[in-house]
Amino acid sequence: PGCSGPCYPGRQTGTMEVALRSAVEESLAAYAHSNAVFMAERLVACHPSPESSHLLATAYHAAGETHRAYSVLNPATTPRNRYLLAVCAFKLGKLQDAENALMAGGFGDAPGGIGDGAPNPAYCSLLLGQICRAANRTERAVEHFQRALRICPTLWVAWQNLCQLGADEAAESYFREDAMPPPAQIPLYLQLQTGPGASSLPVANLALDASTPARPSLS
């Protein structure tokens, strides 16, 4: 059931929202997916927002409930929600929906970062490549995988896809020391994983888990 105010009498709305978010993030970090889903559902009921929806969809996705994650995010209004929507749509075989979500978010041809919590553009290009490959648009898929590697040479799965598509690509053309991004360009969330007070949340890239969609559908 929804809430028009604080879920628990006597507690400030802001305090409860922070508590629920923390509970979801802690549960995800501990791989307690069922608890993460329950807490995230309470969060959305009491404090609906694109950020709350993203957290709930993340919990559903982690719990293997891709259909529910897709439903929560559709329609998506923020870049990171569009990206996660695209991941879910791809896994469900909704190739056109997945591509539309990415293109609507400006991921298709943007040269730099999208901002607002969106992932590195390399992962967006990887996902677009996977979508095009599943739709038998091989030439376009190759272009997206090559772009992903130019942005992020350590995105090895993109090179793997290129090899599987028969593209004549030498690993050394991407994976070499002078092509590695300097520390200043390494995403902050990755730096936090190894520094003092590192975040407990596991870093997972959803696109890498989306390599095999369900029965593709272009409708």
Q: What was the pLDDT predicted at 159?
A: 87
Entry pTM: 0.73
CA end-to-end span of the chain:
33
| Contacts of 111 by beta carbon, 8 Å cutoff, 6+ apart | 121
**Dist. CA 105–CA 114, nearest whole Å:** 8
pLDDT in tens, 184-207: 454 443 443 344 444 444 333 444
Q: What was the pLDDT predicted at 88?
A: 98
pLDDT in tens, 10-61: 434 578 999 999 999 999 999 999 999 999 999 999 999 999 999 999 999 9
**Dist. CA 10–CA 217, nearest whole Å:** 50
pLDDT in tens, 97-152: 999 999 886 665 544 444 455 678 899 999 999 999 999 999 999 999 999 998 88
